Amino acid sequence: MKIAIIGPGAMGCLFSHYLSRAGHELMLLDYRPERARSIAEQGVRVEEAGELLTTRVPVTADPGAVGGAELCIVAVKAYATRDALLRSRPLIGPETLVLSLQNGLGNVEAIAGVVPGGQVLGGTTAQGANVVGPGQIRHAGTGETVIGELLGPGSRAAMLAALFQEAGLEARTTDDLTGLIWSKVIINIGINALTALTRLPNGKLLDYPGTRAVMAAAVKEAAAVAGALDIRLLYPNPAERVEAVARATAANVSSMLQDVRARRRTEVDQIQGAVVAAGREKGVPAPVNETLWRLVKTLEASYAEQLGS
Ligand code: PAF
C-alpha cells in the first residue's frame, strides 16, 4: 500500500519503520526541509531490544512531490492537525483514507474539516516511544493499536488493523471511536500534566500522596464530563485504570514531559483544555483540570525565564 506518514516524531518514526519493513511504499512528511533532508540521509533509526535498526524511508517537506497516497497516517501534535492536513492536501484524493492515532480530543473532527468524514478513521495506540534525536527513537514499550471509523462501523478499520498486524504491530478495531478516544484521554488526564509539572516518570506519580490525590481528582472530573456527554468509557473504574497504566508504563517519560523537557508546546489544550471546555458546555465543573491546564500553559509560556536546578 502507498502510505504517507505526516510527522517524523516518535510515533511517525515508529510506524514508518514497521510499515516500511512490512513492504509498504512509505513516504514520511516533515514540514521542516532541513530535518527532512537529514532524516532522508541517515534513515529512520529505532532503538529496540538493545539494537539500533535503520530503515531507509523517503522523507520530504513537499507533499506535492509524493503523488496520491492510499493511506495517510497523521502523527503530528494535536494542535497542528488542521494545518498539517491543509498542507498535505496534494496527497489526499477521494479514495485516500486518513487515520489519526494522536493523543487528545478534536483530531478526527479537525481532519473531517478538511477531508470528507467517510475517509476519516481514528484510534489510539499504546505503543511507547521516545525521540532521541531527529529521525531517531527509542521503542520503549509495545501495546495495542485500536482503530475505528468516524462515521461508524465499516470494513476499512478492519483492513487497517490487519495491515498493522501484518507489520508486527498488535491491532484491533472498535465500533465506538468516541468512547475509545475519551477512554485514552482520561488516561492522559491522569498522567501527562502531572508528569510535566513534577518531571517524574509515569510510575513515580503513584509514590507520592500529593500526585496520587490530584490524579484521582482530575480523573474523577473528566469521567463526570464524559458521563454528562453520554460517552461510554472502556473501563468501569477510571481511577483504577489510570493507576494501572501508570504502573504498566512506570519508567516512561510521558509525551508531555518529553515536550516540556525539550521546551516545546504541549498537547495540554487538547487534553485538559478540551475536557474543561466540554465540561463548561454541559455545566460540569472541572477545577482541578483547569488548574493543571493553567499551570502547564504557564510552564510553556515561561521556558526562557525558568531557573535551572
Ligand atoms: O502521552 C503519553 O505519554 C502516553 O499516552 C501515556 C499513556 C501517558 C504513557 O506515557
Q: Ligand 1, closest atom to CA 188? A: 8
Predicted confidence (pLDDT) per residue in 116-139, tens digit: 999 999 999 999 999 999 999 999
Predicted confidence (pLDDT) per residue in 88-97, tens digit: 999 999 999 9
| pLDDT above 80 (res 240) | yes
Alpha-helix runs per DSSP H in the chain: 10-21, 33-42, 81-87, 107-112, 155-166, 177-198, 209-228, 238-248, 255-261, 272-282, 287-301
| Ligand 1 close to Cβ of residue 202 (< 6 A) | yes
What amino acid positions are annotated as catalytic residues?
Answer: 184
Tell me which residue has cell 516518570: 201
Walk me through the domains of the chain, giving residue ranges and CATH numbers.
2-175 (3.40.50.720), 178-301 (1.10.1040.10)
| Ligand 1 close to Cβ of residue 181 (< 6 A) | no
Residues with Cβ within 8 Å of residue 268, at least 6 apart in sequence: 192, 193, 196, 256, 292, 293, 296, 297, 300
Q: What pLDDT sits at residue 65?
A: 84
- Give the pLDDT mean for 265-293: 98
- Give the pLDDT mean for 157-176: 98
Beta strands in 67-183 (DSSP E): 71-74, 97-100, 120-125, 128-133, 136-141, 145-149, 171-173
Predicted confidence (pLDDT) per residue in 185-225, tens digit: 999 999 999 999 999 999 999 999 999 999 999 999 999 99
